[in-house]
Amino acid sequence: MPLICHFCKRRLKSTNALRRHIASRHSEIQDKQHECYICIKSFKTKWSLSTHNSRFHRDLRQSKEFIKIESSDH
Instruction: Tell whether the model's pLDDT for residue 57 goes beyond 80.
Output: yes
> Which residues span the domain enclosing 58?
32-74
Domain count, the chain: 2
Are 38 and 73 part of one and the same domain? yes
Q: Calculate what percentage of the chain has a pLDDT beyond 70.
A: 73
The model's confidence at residue 30, banded by pLDDT at 50, 70 and 90, is: very low
Are 22 and 40 part of one and the same domain? no
Smallest CA-to-CA distance from 28 within 12, 44, 14 is with 44
Question: CA-CA distance, 51 to 40, in Å (whole number)?
Answer: 15
Are 71 and 56 part of one and the same domain? yes
Are 1 and 21 part of one and the same domain? yes
Are 38 and 65 part of one and the same domain? yes
pLDDT, greater one: 63 or 53 = 53
Question: CA-CA distance, 3 to 13, in Å (whole number)?
Answer: 6
What's residue 62's pLDDT? 58
